[in-house]
Amino acid sequence: MSDTKTTATFVKKTETVSVQIQKCLEKIEEQSDVETSLKLARLYERIYDYDNAIKECQKWIEDGNVHTECFIVYIKLLCKQGNYEKAQECLDSKGIASDEKLKELCQGILYFFQKNFKKALECIGAVLAQAPSYYHACSWLGITYYYMYFYIDEPEETWLQESFSNYDRAVKISMEKFVKYKTQSLQLFLVESLCARSILYGMMQEYEKAFRGLYDALEIDSDNEKIYTLIGHRYRHNGEFHTSLGWYNLALGINEKDAYGYFGRGEAYYNLHEPLKAKADYDKAIGCDPSYIETYYSRAQYYFADGQFDEAIKDCNQVLSEVAGCGIPKKLEKATRNLIASIEILKDITVIDTGDTPIKKLIKNTMALEEIVYEKEGKVKREGFYKFDQPLVSVDDFTFSVLRKWNSFTPIGGGPKSVGGGYFVQFGEKGVVIDPGFNFIDNFRADNRQLIFKQIKDIIVTHAHNDHTNDIDSLLTVLRSYNKNFDFEWDDIKKDPDVMNWPIWKDIEKALSYGYEATRDDRTGKKYDDAKQIVEKLKKDYGQQLNVYVTAGTIQKYSGFFNLHRKTDYKVVTVCNDYCDNPFITWEKAIDGKDVKVFAIRADHDDVVSDYTAMGICFEYDKYALIYTGDTSYKDEVVQEAYNKLAAKYASKEIILVANIGGFKPRERGILDDKDESECHYKNHLGRLGIAKLVETLKPKLCVISEFGEEFNALRTDVAEAFDKAYNGTEYDDTVFIPADIGLCIKLTAKNGIQIDAGYKFLSGISNPIPRPVDYKQVITYERNNLVYYLDGAIFNSDIAFQFLEEKINGIS
């Protein structure tokens, strides 16, 4: 897309903590003010320099001159140092006596750090009873309930909701005040409250709201590494480890002493099977903040996996030593004790000479490993591709995700790794896979933020070429393996003593409000019957059935693979193409009832198996029609007629065209010599002329050019810009052209129109610079290092995009 359709305003650069500290010091040297001192104190706190932070606060809390914000921070810092006696002395001093609400709040803060949550609630609650708009009290009440949920043996579920309600109130009150007064202290408080509320949104599985809150915080304060770290955590918890790395790197670029950033990046590296990098980051996190005990547990897991049992025990003991001090979360304590038990089992394993046969000796000498292996096996399955315990993700809008980079028809050749893929459509809770070629599963898992295997309901294959079919057998094999986990009878639960190790046991137990005893021990009565019915429903709910819609050529290719069992996990439907004069293929289906309709379109493509059975796909949704051409030439008259009729049919709708270009051919130059157009077209793909004719026929709002050959590396944006410039100032000027790459997602919304959502990019290791969906007219593209970046045209243009990418992406990909 050319720059003529967008305007740039600015690039907001981030400043490191050290630079921010220096600026505050220079300002204070000229003229001291409480807002600058408070900001400086908070900056010192972020690098764990509590002494200097306390000195800055002390300037404004002397007798008769107590500043509320500074006093709260001062008490908190003393508590972080473990200096509870001095904190109590300050609270008992005459200087604070006149402000009873402030004194009561800070007394509650002191109780909070001493883990006396009951007293903390009493103090902070009393303050809010007197002053419901006291946003500091809302925040501290929120954090108290949050910690109670994790630190107390039998937490109440209502505590999380109480925590959220109080943080939500703190956000709303401080937002109103910040809009009015714009002070630095309000800014700091608002950002912290937005971050805390986003954490709670994530715990409640409201992921979009969690992201939205963090991006709102980023707009208010782009220099705060905590926000970048939390966004990294959010992506990491979603399984998008490569993307999370980019956010952690941005955080650490601002604050090189960000223990939470090092910890998060270490966790991401560990999940990406790079244990040495993970260990290095765990060490750095502990070096920055030795009190961050979660890091010791993660490092203990690294030592355990590496066979360094003594080192693992040391780190576990470091975690448990906190029990006598400020305490640790109960789940972490339990996990640590379990890890120690596992280590002790492995350390004590010896060969037992019983005179048995070698096979019996083998079984006896590996029995101690069984519990560890079974536990890890369940974890691998649960956290892997199946994700048994993940709820289905529902989207309000129609989304079309590109999971394809190249038309990788020759991956067996040498050179760089070829990355293919396909496309994925989602509407409501249902997902449709389109043309799953080489690497589709890899791209699906790595690039989609919350999509899980259960989400897939249909597979559509437009023709039989390998780069559109390769992962069909992988998907169906995974489907069979997935469904095997639920292929059991109720009596199996009664008979199997290992029932609690089943992949769905967590869900069975969750469904039984009275726990698992009724299933495992009590074999009679109503509870037993209820449990049986619940488990049968779970089997039905979890079992997956796919519809596979394929062309006749694909059926021919996979005739030996598609099974003919009476009971099968999938149903194959052949979309027939008799190549008569009818320009449409007589097939259509609905997604989520009547909201989205899918039609097949005639295509002209030789896929080796057949030269007439290929097809394209059209999705109708609301006021939109998204047309995916598949692989086709445009020289055939029947194909041309099909698109002419589509243009008439969708004259009142907004058309989005996803066109597979295939490549360039010298014959296309014949158009310059006024040769007959039919002689100039690429014979097996659209090429430049085919896409141009489709644009002039359909007049789409957005044209996404896809399926480039690998020879187009670094040239894809040039191709799109060439189209854009060719049609600038013509009747087709409204069409926006962009190239496709993995990570591009088109959202069709009733409220906001056509949007581009490219807020993630797994291959680059950094989130794309579009933090949330933007209007398709605003998007500009930039290609670098084999990647297309989709940039928000309200912030970037091509002249400054390179500068931005240099600063934000170098060293990350």
Tokens of 325: 């001090």
Q: Which residues contact residue 216 at a Cβ distance below 8 angstroms, ignoring those fewer than 6 apart?
A: 194
Instruction: Kindly report, residue by residue over 277-293, the tens digit of the pLDDT.
Output: 999 999 999 999 998 89
Which element (helix H / strand E) includes 212? helix 207-220
Residue 811 pLDDT class (50, 70, 90 cuts) = very low
Q: Which amino acid is at 411?
A: P
Supply the DSSP symbol for 391.
Answer: P
**570 φ, ψ (degrees, to nearest 5):** -150, 160
Write the pLDDT tens digit of every residue in 598-649: 989 989 999 888 888 899 999 999 999 999 999 999 998 889 999 999 999 9
**Contact (CB, 8 A) for 251 and 223:** no
CA distance 334 to 339: 9
| Length, in residues, of the chain | 813
Q: Are 763 and 775 in contact, with CB atoms under 8 Å apart?
A: no
* H helix intervals, 321-353: 330-347
Q: Give the pLDDT confidence score for residue 428 in this predicted structure.
A: 83
DSSP-derived secondary structure letter, 595: T
In the β-sheet with 456-460, what is the strand arrangement from edge to edge?
Answer: 570-575, 546-551, 456-460, 430-434, 423-428, 395-402, 745-749, 753-756, 774-775
pLDDT in tens, 136-177: 999 999 999 999 998 888 888 899 999 999 999 999 999 999
Q: Which residue has the tokens 């480039």?
A: 708
Given the structure tokens 């789409």, which residue do they identify? 700
Lowest mean pLDDT among 22-26, 224-228, 533-537: 533-537
pLDDT category, 515, cuts 50, 70, 90?
very low
For the chain, how long is the longest CA-to-CA vector? 96
CA distances from 621 to 39, 52, 371, 740 (A): 50, 60, 51, 21
> What is the three-class DSSP state of 63?
coil
Amino acid 145 reads Y
Q: Decide if pLDDT at 67 tops 90.
A: no
Hunting for tokens 């090429």 — which residue is that? 687
pTM above 0.95, yes or no: no
Distance CA 391, CA 396 (A): 16
**Which residues are bridge partners to 787 per DSSP?**
784
In the structure encoding, which two tokens stand for residue 231, read together?
A: 């966004």
Structure tokens at 751: 């409220």
Is residue 521's pLDDT more than 70? no
Helices (H) and strands (E) in the chain, counts: 32, 18
Average pLDDT over residues 36-52: 94
**Predicted local distance difference test score (pLDDT) of residue 281:** 96
Instruction: For residue range 421-479, list pLDDT tens digits in order.
Output: 899 998 888 889 999 988 888 777 765 544 567 788 899 999 998 889 888 888 888 78
Backbone φ/ψ region at 655: left (φ over 0), alpha (ψ -120 to 50), beta: beta
Q: What is the CA radius of gyration of the chain?
A: 30
Is the predicted pLDDT of residue 25 greater than 70, yes or no? yes
pLDDT tier for residue 671 given thresholds of 50, 70 and 90:
confident
Dihedral sign for Cα atoms in the order 270, 272, 273, 278:
negative
Structure tokens at 632: 């086709």
Taking the C-alpha atoms of residue 797 and residue 317, their distance in angstroms, rounded to an integer, is: 54
Tokens of residue 365, six digits: 């000498």
Euclidean distance between CA atoms 281 and 263, whole angstroms: 6
